[in-house]
Structure 1
């Protein structure tokens, strides 16, 4: 899923005409890249391999990068609701299939025009929400509470693994056979994964035909106290009045504001500010995720260790990890404009940012499973609305700043992200709770 979510960010530097002025109109022009060798020296086969480029200024690029989140502002709530009632198998499987097919058609949409490409990415964003939101209803029925943080982080580490794969391979694909193949390859892999999903996944252990009776009994017994399926009833009024829930939602917005900047603009930052080519920018963008991948899993294991040994209370763990995951990356990001002359220092800061940033995943972003396990899929959908809102706004705002001033634009982007981050952290530290709420 995340290879498909990030492939556009990887392909963007290869898709745009870097000679286009910021004030140029939003028009798409297919043709060989400006920096390409003299066409007269190329063979007919090489000419066919040249991918088209488009005259999209930074502001238009920001809109395209954010479009994946425009249509997903309201989709997560019904998606989480339906997944909570009917189970995640068909909701997640359908979302994976739709997103994969639309990924295959992305190059054709780009050739047709910006408007169609935006529409395609909006629909694709909705399909991806079906996957990212619906999967949480699986963990409520499969993960014993004391093991929940470990199991969710192991599964969610696929976010980092997929991002690492697309960043490390995507630049190479763009540089050799052309950016359209980034969409063809990972769209095709997604379609193949869909064929594995439906026969192998079951909504709960009771109906699973392969696990042992002992494992089935252990899982079912551990989940007795959290209550059964929520059914059709959802206590909306109580949720609206729940301050701990609002703390999680505001935190999701502030955390994902910076996360979407990292996801959308790291390849562009490395390509434009550090002047790296497509291949090197992909590898440099992938390195932080490669380092963060094992750290992310270890973070979940650490939460389980601290909780099982009763070293810290659950809410203390959530707030501690969130604080570290916000403050350290904020400071590192604010330092980036001052060290851009050094590639190694910039890369080190990006690696450390990614490592510490992922601690938020086992902090505030996992907190809804604590306060309302039986409604976790619905609440994950609600949280995803705030995350998607941040994802729709932050790349667009960032594109505006960069378009206005290429030298100081990045500094303004990081300052705004820092302000949003700090506000969200303060609200979470004051209002965050980890006890199951009365309405749940």
Structure 2
């Protein structure tokens, strides 16, 4: 077998295995607690994964997908029939479905032989994703298919069937996987670094993670472009979908930045204060809590890494689940954008502040300390549907500028927090000193969240579309226009 074939199979199976362990397994409790959210999250995970084999085939084999006929609307019912000629050609169906769906949003499910469900990882993932398994005996398959279709109907998960069954999957929250990709990275890095540190020491932690960072940078350099139109691997269908989905609040031309309007905008400054708040919370939990666990329980680095990494998985999953709830609230038309942002912001500021304070006042109780640590980090997942979205809400045209300010403000607490901690614990590394530090942290985290609830806003600002000053008849006055006197 050619090396590219081996590479494809290896990377394909590794993605299935890691996805099952890291993403799918943690969602299983939701299957019993909140089935609708479980199906929603699994649908997003699997539909995003479908792009992976498509990209692999493009990169490894230079595969081209040519689609003829009408596009598939993923929001309509459809019966898709494919009679594949060998055991591997069904891999091309992933790319075919991706390019033939318009918009390219779907969950591709197959009707498979029952024995495949027992294949490690691959069969298990397809079970969680709702694939239909049959024995090819109608007297047996009829009842099992009726039960599964009833389940989909009960959880409001509309779908289409064939030997391949496609369910609609809104990719409106694909940016969640982007924004919370850092959570997965931290969740994997903490225990990985603990493992390395326990065996080879600190130098190798930096050597190995540094090399991983360089590999990531190389991939970014090769495959990331400024605009979709510049990307060599994008299809015409996908490009049209992206450009046609831009709303009228996003300008296609470069606009002058209305600095005066930006710097005098109260919602902007409130949003910056929230970035400070959530930045302080995140950096405190990531960098100070492991030290606190060593002080309280004397754990080794490997155990510290494991218990410091797990909360980041729950943070990622909570961000997905909360986005489902927030979207459902907005879809009713009863809640404004500001209202739903306030819900998320309150969770990742006020609620998280209370959990952080509760963590340090739990004393030496390992169950309570780790429980509050898990809940506090999980609550920070609300930042995706809250603070991290506010800048785009205020001004899509100048979101990059606003996010630049936001990014700077968000990382400053990471530099200040260690100095504040040293003020309390230098020559006095006691539980009481840590309680004072975490109590101060709780106040710093909660206050911006309360301010946003009272005077914050996530509504589109008037200066998002400044009127060009080149027109002599028009003058720009802080985002509102006036007609010049003749």
TM-score tier (shorter): 0.5 to 0.7
Equivalence for 1:325: 348
Alignment pair present for 1:159 and 2:182 = yes
Report deviation, 1:230. 6.5
Whole-Å Cα distance in 2 between the matches of residues 210 and 309 of structure 1? Answer: 38
Equivalence for 1:243: 266
CA contact (8 A) 2:270 2:456 kept: yes
Equivalence for 1:435: 459
User: SS of the residue aligned with 1:439?
Assistant: helix
User: SS of the residue aligned with 2:233?
Assistant: coil
Report deviation, 1:218. 2.2
Equivalence for 2:425: 402
Equivalence for 2:294: 271
Whole-Å Cα distance in 2 between the matches of residues 261 and 171 of structure 1? Answer: 19
CA contact (8 A) 1:150 1:303 kept: no
Report deviation, 1:330. 1.6
CA contact (8 A) 2:316 2:381 kept: no
Distance change >3 Å, CA 224–CA 339, structure 1 → 2: closer
Equivalence for 2:233: 210
Alignment pair present for 1:417 and 2:417 = no
Whole-Å Cα distance in 1 between the matches of residues 252 and 283 of structure 2? Answer: 33
Q: Highest relative contact order (Cα 8 Å, sep 6+), 1 or 2?
A: 1
Distance change >3 Å, CA 200–CA 311, structure 1 → 2: farther
Question: Which runs of 5 or more residues in structure 2 are unaligned?
Answer: 1-104, 106-169, 465-486
Pick the aligned partner of 2:216 from 193, 215, 218.
Answer: 193
- Number of residue pairs matched by the alignment: 297
Alignment of 1:43-122 (within 5 A): none
Equivalence for 1:90: none
Whole-Å Cα distance in 2 between the matches of residues 256 and 351 of structure 1? Answer: 17
Distance change >3 Å, CA 192–CA 279, structure 1 → 2: same
Whole-Å Cα distance in 2 between the matches of residues 346 and 172 of structure 1? Answer: 22
User: SS of the residue aligned with 2:240?
Assistant: helix
Whole-Å Cα distance in 1 between the matches of residues 360 and 379 of structure 2? Answer: 19
Report deviation, 1:373. 0.8
User: SS of the residue aligned with 2:462?
Assistant: coil
When Rg is computed on C-alpha atoms for both structures, the one with the higher figure is 2
CA contact (8 A) 1:149 1:300 kept: no
User: SS of the residue aligned with 2:248?
Assistant: helix
Report deviation, 1:301. 3.5
User: SS of the residue aligned with 1:362?
Assistant: coil
CA contact (8 A) 1:149 1:362 kept: no
Whole-Å Cα distance in 2 between the matches of residues 239 and 149 of structure 1? Answer: 27
Q: Deviations over 1:304-329 (max 9, x none)?
A: 33334435221111001111222222
Q: Deviations over 1:112-171 (max 9, x none)?
A: xxxxxxxxxxxxxxxxxxxxxxxxxxxxxxx9xxx7861221111211111111111111
Q: State which drifts further: 375-384 or 148-157.
A: 148-157
Equivalence for 2:6: none
Equivalence for 2:7: none
Whole-Å Cα distance in 2 between the matches of residues 290 and 430 of structure 1? Answer: 32
Alignment pair present for 1:228 and 2:251 = yes
Q: More strand by proportion, 1 or 2?
A: 2
Report deviation, 1:175. 0.6
Alignment of 1:274-285 (within 5 A): 274-285=297-308
Alignment of 1:133-172 (within 5 A): 150-172=173-195
Q: Deviations over 1:291-348 (max 9, x none)?
A: 2222222333333333344352211110011112222222222122332321122111
Whole-Å Cα distance in 2 between the matches of residues 403 and 378 of structure 1? Answer: 39
User: SS of the residue aligned with 2:426?
Assistant: helix
Distance change >3 Å, CA 391–CA 164, structure 1 → 2: same
Alignment pair present for 1:174 and 2:174 = no
Whole-Å Cα distance in 2 between the matches of residues 189 and 325 of structure 1? Answer: 30
Pick the aligned partner of 1:306 from 313, 324, 329.
Answer: 329
Whole-Å Cα distance in 2 between the matches of residues 254 and 418 of structure 1? Answer: 9
Distance change >3 Å, CA 378–CA 233, structure 1 → 2: same
Distance change >3 Å, CA 412–CA 290, structure 1 → 2: same
Q: More helix by proportion, 1 or 2?
A: 1
Equivalence for 1:297: 320
